[in-house]
Amino acid sequence: MALIEIKNLTKTFGPTTAVDHVSLDIIKGETLGLVGESGSGKSTLARLILKLLHSDAGTIIYGSELERLRRDCQLVFQDPQTSLNPRIRVGEAIAEPILINQLKPKAEAKARVLELLGLVKLPLNYVRRYPHELSGGERQRVGIARALASSPKFLVLDEPVSALDVSIQVDILQLLKELKERLKLTYLFIAHDLQVIGYMSDRIAVMKEGQIVELGPPAEILATPHHPYTQKLLASTLKI
C-alpha cells in the first residue's frame, strides 16, 4: 500500500533540472533507500515530498494518515552540529517543536522530552546540556528526538550518518531500525554510501541527474545492477 504516490515530479532551478519527471511510490512501513552521487537531486526530491519546496510539475498524493503533513512527516538532517542552536539546551531543543506546534501544554512538555530522550537512548540528565557538550552521535540522537517529537508517521533521513565517525554510524543506524519497528514508521533514507543503503533499505532507488534510473530490492540492486550508473556507483564504493 502506497503511503506516498509521486507522479512525474519535476523541479528546476534556473537551467538545472534537479528533479526530472520522477514517479515513485513509498510503501507504508518500508525503508526506501535513495542513493546517487552528489547533485543528483536526492535532497531536492526529499524537500518536495515534505512540501518545503514547490514543484514545477507533477503530483504527490499523500495517504490518509498523512493528512496533518507538517506533523506527520519529519526530516532528520545530515549535520546535527548545524541544525542545533549552540545556545539552546538539549531539553529546550527537543521541547521546541512540541511547544511551537502546541502538541502538549507546557506542563506536560517536560515529560514528553524525557520520554523522547529515552526513545533515542540518551541519559535523562542530558536535558540540561548544551550541544557542544555532546558527541556527534549524541547530537544526532537529539536531532532524531526532535524529529520524533510530533509523533510522525514518515521520516526523511537525509544522510543522517554521513557526518559521523564510522564507529558510531552503526549505532545510529541500529537505533533508527529499532525506532522504525517500535513506532511503525516509514522511512525515506538518503545516502551516497551503498553499504549503508544496503543495510537499511527494503528497496533502493538509484538517482542520477534528477531521474530514478533503477529501483528494486537491495539483493537485486547490489548484486546485479542493471544500469551502468549503478554499476559505476558500486565499483566506486568497493574501491575504498
Ligand X SMILES: Nc1ncnc2c1ncn2[C@@H]1O[C@H](COP(=O)(O)OP(=O)(O)OP(=O)(O)O)[C@@H](O)[C@H]1O
Tell me which of 3, 30, 32, 40 binds ligand X, using CB under 6 A: 40
Site string for ligand X, 152-191 (x = CB under 6 A): ----------------------------------------
Residues recorded for the chain: 240
- Residue placing its CB nearer to ligand X in the complex, 47 or 139: 47
Distance CA 205, CA 201 (A): 10
Q: Is 42 in the site for ligand X (CB under 6 A)?
A: yes
Q: Which residues would be at the binding site for Mg ion (CB under 5 A)?
A: 43
Of 18 and 206, CB closest to ligand X: 18
Which of 21, 26, 1 shows the shortest CA–CA distance to 10? 21
* Smallest separation, CB 183 to ligand X (Å): 26
Find the helix packing angle between 166-183 and 136-148, rounded to 10°.
Answer: 20
Q: Which is nearer to ligand X, 43 or 74 (CB)?
A: 43
In the complex with ligand X, the residue whose CB is nearer, 47 or 153, is 47
- Please give the C-alpha separations between residue 207 and each of 36, 37, 66, in angstroms, as whole numbers: 5, 8, 25
With residue 118 as reference, give the H or E element that holds it. Answer: helix 106-119
Rounded Cα gap, residues 117 and 50, in angstroms: 25
Report yes or no: 230 and 206 within 8 Å, Cβ to Cβ.
yes
- Say whether residue 83 binds ligand X (CB under 6 A): no
Chain residues binding ligand X by CB under 6 A are: 13, 16, 18, 36, 38-44, 192
